[in-house]
Chain A
Amino acid sequence: MSEYLFLVPLLPFFGFLVNGLLLGRLPKSVISAVACGTVGISFILSILLFFELKGLPPGARVIEQVLFTWIPSGDMLHTNVGYLLDPLSAVMILVVSGVGFLIHVYSVGYMGHDASYGRFFTYMNLFTFSMLTLVLADNFLFMFVGWEGVGLCSYLLIGFWHERKSASDAGKKAFIVNRIGDFGFLIGIFLIFWNVGSLDFRVVMERAPEVFVFGGGLITATCILLFVGAIGKSAQIPLYVWLPDAMEGPTPVSALIHAATMVTAGVYMIARTNLLYMMAPDALLVVAVIGALTAIYAATIGLAQNDIKRVLAYSTVSQLGYMFLACGVASFTAGIFHLMTHAFFKALLFLGAGSVIHAMANEQDMRRMGGLRKYMPATFWTFLFATLAISGIPGFSGFFSKDEILWKSFSSGHGHWLFWVIGFVTAGLTAFYMFRLLYLTFYGKERMEESTRSHLHESPRSMTVPLVVLAVLSLIGGWVGIPHILGGTNYFEGWMEPVVSGGHAAASQALASGGGDAGMEVTLMVVSVALVLAAIFGAYTFYNKRPELATAWRSRLSGVHHLLVNKYFVDEIYGTILVRPVVYFSLFLWKVFDVVFIDGFINGVASVYSDISETVRTAQTGRVRTYATVFLLGVVVILAYFIWI
């Protein structure tokens, strides 16, 4: 089985080639069969590989397949095109191909009427290939190929409806902001290569303890630079600005790329290099602080947004902050666990939102929705499941992963009670804005126009089936990681242990030092659940029972509301202090340096020659007798020269 590992990423690439090369020549049924089929087979292969991996003893759960040497350069640089399957990448390929497959199926219905149907699936397959390459690569450089590949596909898919200026602008914004992060990531890779002399993950992890000094400046700088890459790709402060704008893309794209998979690449990368981070406590602290700040910051913006997809976008940024908080307190398992459950419920939320938008004839403003529950029951129920999961209602997947993060941020050796408080408040905010969204969309008065209302319909089967599957996953997805304290067996932690043994050791150490904290863990759990319930009740009061209260509070807190609606004016601030100077400098280079200096020099040289020839060419009169006379004079002169001189 393991010799087929390379097929997992290559199958979607095959789909990309077929759909891309025969663009516009295939009927829609063939396009969707190729696109969904290749990803589906990838998913089946991933499951088979997962079980093969599971059959190995825990310490030996590594399958590596090197296809060929990519860059053989001297003794130092020897980069392979190779795939590495270990417990971490196994989880990732299951999530990517599984959720990816569901979203591909969903897109068949959602994009059914789009003129660029084939182009859409071409990009989607290319994305799936790049993402699988990213998570399966066995060295930094090959991972970077996937990293850039997903960035490219993200750009292409955000700007999918490129005839809309806002969409193409959003695509460019995403690409450019990601470039800033990639810059740091690349320098991090250089530093690793420079110091370790290899880019292979396993070699780097093996040699890192000998090469780097624990907590030294070099390892800290390397980790922070790698994290800069993660900040860009995973939309953390200060580079998160591209993600809300990325909602210009088709909704399945938002679900797959900007919620479930690509944006989690940063979390994956940190989990992959967790050994390096364990050697740099300061870098871990940076990760945790950025993650915690992003979590609460984005959640507050989510409170006041009216566009259904923007709320979900800020929610994604906030949840990604959670994952980084988990990584930052050296609980990489919890981060990946939340990554997985988040992929389920956030993909479901986006697909549900897509279903709503589809029915509402592309209306995204929640103020013009309401009462959709009875028109689209399947969408409503699945959406409810996802909302309960993200809010952290006990029993749903989000509860277990979020609780794990909250507990680890409190109890881990790298944790702090302040991190817990931030995570705790964020959990309340999350529940509040998610139920606000739910009530505004599915309950209450029907605020849409009559023409829209008469067309309200449940989405086709190809869209609702993925919703139901994801709803089931949102419920049971967390059951693999039920904490010991609730009488469960934390399978997920055991599964991930070989990959994060360093982190696990530290975490268990911290647990051992505070062994009597079992009561504390339960208390914190109960407190956070209580807060979530209170937040849900608050949202119910404000947005369902007594909507006039929401209006009253909005006017009472108009200053704060204004700030939140405008997203803390961060886009404006960036525009003024960063974008505008760059634009003006570019204008200077264009209008002054290029046009005046460079063009002036070139044109000056040319005009000198043209002026000279302008004068000289008048000698060519075209009169034969003039030529003959000059000819004769020339002969006379030459003869005279030879005779007398």
Chain B
Amino acid sequence: MVPVSAYLIVAIVLFGIGTIGVLISRNVIIIFMSVELMLNAANLVLIAFSRALNVVDGHVFVFLVLCVAAAEAAVGLAIIITLYRNRDTVNIDRFDLLKW
């Protein structure tokens, strides 16, 4: 049986990759994907503990998050497409009008 700590290490690695992706990438789509990665790292932790403690609460939670993530992905991609249509770019550094 795979110990919980292994799942947690994978989750931390995934979360770290996602965080770094958000912080360093300029492409909005990459950032979006990194955010999804962080989300799924959190899902992995939930599943792992649910399995180890033998309760189904975690499963329910994860299904809920997956549903919300699917909806959120649709909205997020729509926003990105609109941004691209308006500004001809998806470089995050060009979207800095909301300041001062």
Contacts and interface: CB of A to CB of B under 8 A. Distances in A.
Contacts of B98: 620, 622
A614 to B, nearest CB: 10
Contact of B96 (A623, A629, A632): A623
Nearest to A613: B100
A628 B22 contact: yes
Majority-rule SS of A interface residues? helix
Nearest to A617: B100
A634 to B, nearest CB: 13
A165 interface: no
Interface string A595-638: 00000000000000000000001101111110011001000000
Contacts of B100: 617-618, 620, 622
Given A623-B93, A624-B92, A629 B99 contact: no
Contacts of B95: 622, 624
A629 B23 contact: yes
Interface in A345-377: none
B67 interface: no
A621 B93 contact: no
A622 B96 contact: yes
Interface string B85-100: 0000000110111111
Range class of the B interface residue count: 10 to 19
B19 interface: yes
Nearest to B92: A624
A632 B20 CA distance: 10
B99 A632 contact: no
Contact of A628 (B23, B96, B97, B99): B23
Interface residues of A, number: 11
Contacts of B19: 632
B99 A620 contact: yes
A624 B99 CA distance: 10
Nearest to B97: A622
A471 to B, nearest CB: 84
A621 B96 contact: yes
Contacts of A617: 100
B92 A625 contact: yes
A632 B97 contact: no
A620 B24 CA distance: 19
Interface in A302-318: none
A618 B31 CA distance: 25
A611 to B, nearest CB: 15
A622 B92 CA distance: 10
A620 B96 CA distance: 10
A357 B55 CA distance: 110
A625 B99 contact: no
Interface string B25-49: 0000001000000000000000000
Nearest to B26: A625
Contacts of A624: 31, 92, 95-96
Contacts of A618: 100
Interface in B44-100: 92-93, 95-100
Contacts of A622: 95-100
22 contacts: A617-B100, A618-B100, A620-B98, A620-B99, A621-B96, A621-B99, A622-B96, A622-B97, A622-B98, A622-B99, A622-B100, A623-B96, A623-B99, A624-B31, A624-B96, A625-B24, A625-B92, A625-B93, A628-B22, A628-B23, A629-B23, A632-B19
Given A620-B98, A621-B96, A625-B93, 19 more contacts: A617-B100, A618-B100, A622-B95, A622-B97, A622-B98, A622-B99, A622-B100, A623-B92, A623-B96, A624-B95, A624-B96, A625-B22, A625-B23, A625-B24, A628-B22, A628-B23, A629-B23, A632-B19, A632-B23
Interface of A: 617-618, 620-625, 628-629, 632
List the 7 closest pairs (A to B, CB-CB), nearest first. Answer: A622-B99, A622-B96, A620-B99, A622-B98, A623-B96, A617-B100, A624-B92
Interface of B: 19, 22-24, 31, 92-93, 95-100
